[in-house]
């Protein structure tokens, strides 16, 4: 089987989207207001499609059906079957995204027969005035939450952080959050598209109508506690493979390549590699190689025994840790 795959991205125009994704990915498209590029997705209706090689034209679900554990790993295949467990996006926020929250597995399963949504962000680029909302700055009650949404003061109790390239935010289900305008972000999350929008600045959608809010649905989803630190700390000066976030759903590292680098921390699952700067060649088991450049993503099969990167690049690597598949 092939052990490295590329996919056609799904470009999603939204009211807050901009034009940075076109430049970042070096693509030519007539689409405007592109807010998201879904790099690898198993979301029903928006499943990624292989765009080259002998498996060209297969959806990621069909790819898993064909290769099974060799593609995604034995533990991942046992737990998720033909469903790809991560959704990987590039997000361009020209304007502020809505203030929102996602349910956890229990609530999402009960209400929507779906997984919950824990996610993380890596800030690729940020304008001088860009910020990120992550968490609460003041502990509130569900009653106060409802009142503040009603009188448009909910933003007064949200933790707002000045954003910089390289910043990392971990967003467990239940944490209220929003991407501010001027941010270009790589997002890794559970495969779920369930979002409770709680505040949207009285904005209209692309259809000219007010965007739907989910104020009541969010009441039981929000974590109302305040935490000490919402920005993930990591060694920004380190080269090679640097851990960023590890939770039950994903294990994410930053990889800096200057010359040649053999990956030392190959997962028992697949590994998605998102190139956020430069370019390099990805060589798998000395059998298959693929060039990857800024803005593009490849999927390395779990059956790979060695991965060597050659070039000058910065990448984000995402896999599923073993503990999450037990």
Number of Cβ within a 10 Å radius of residue 305: 10
Cα Dmax for the chain: 61
Place of tokens 């709680």: 198
Distance CA 310, CA 279 (A): 9
Number of other residues whose CB lies within 10 A of the CB of residue 78? 12
Task: Assess whether 197 carries a catalytic annotation.
Answer: yes
Kindly state the tokens that stand for 135.
């968490």
88, 41 contact by CB (below 8 A): yes
In degrees rounded to 5, what are phi and psi of residue 148? -70, -35
- Which of 197, 203, 204, 305 is flagged as catalytic? 197
Distance from C-alpha of 84 to C-alpha of 62, rounded to nearest angstrom: 10
82's tokens: 């033909």
12, 92 Cβ separation under 8 angstroms: no
In sequence order, the 6+-apart residues with CB closer than 8 A to the CB of 304 are: 3, 4, 266, 271, 284, 285
Q: Catalytic amino acids?
A: 197
């Amino acid at each position: 089987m092939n052990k490295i795959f590329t996919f056609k991205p799904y470009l999603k125009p939204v009211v807050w989207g901009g034009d940075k994704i076109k430049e970042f990915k070096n693509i030519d498209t007539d689409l405007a207001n592109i807010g998201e590029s879904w790099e690898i997705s198993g979301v029903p209706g928006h499943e990624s499609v292989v765009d080259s090689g002998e498996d060209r034209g297969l959806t990621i679900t069909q790819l898993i059906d064909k290769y099974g554990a060799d593609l995604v790993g034995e533990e991942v295949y046992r737990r998720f079957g033909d469903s790809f467990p991560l959704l990987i996006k590039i997000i361009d926020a020209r304007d502020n995204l809505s203030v929102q929250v996602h349910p956890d597995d229990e609530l999402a399963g009960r209400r929507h027969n779906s997984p919950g949504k824990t996610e993380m962000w890596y800030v690729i680029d940020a304008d001088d005035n860009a910020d990120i909302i992550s968490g609460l700055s003041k502990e509130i009650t569900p009653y106060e939450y409802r009142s503040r949404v009603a009188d448009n003061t909910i933003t007064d109790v949200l933790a707002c952080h000045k954003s910089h390239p390289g910043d990392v935010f971990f967003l467990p289900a239940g944490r209220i959050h929003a991407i501010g305008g001027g941010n270009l972000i790589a997002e890794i999350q559970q495969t779920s598209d369930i979002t409770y929008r709680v505040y949207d600045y009285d904005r209209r959608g692309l259809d000219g109508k007010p965007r739907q809010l989910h104020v009541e649905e969010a009441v039981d989803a929000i974590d109302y506690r305040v935490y000490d630190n919402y920005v993930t700390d990591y060694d920004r000066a380190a080269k090679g493979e640097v851990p960023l976030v590890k939770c039950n759903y994903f294990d994410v590292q930053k990889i800096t390549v200057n010359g040649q680098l053999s990956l030392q921390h190959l997962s028992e699952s697949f590994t998605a590699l998102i190139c956020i700067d430069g370019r390099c060649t990805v060589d798998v088991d000395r059998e298959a190689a693929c060039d990857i450049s800024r803005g593009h993503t490849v999927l390395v099969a779990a059956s790979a025994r060695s991965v060597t990167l050659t070039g000058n690049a910065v990448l984000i690597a995402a896999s599923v840790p073993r503990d999450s598949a037990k």
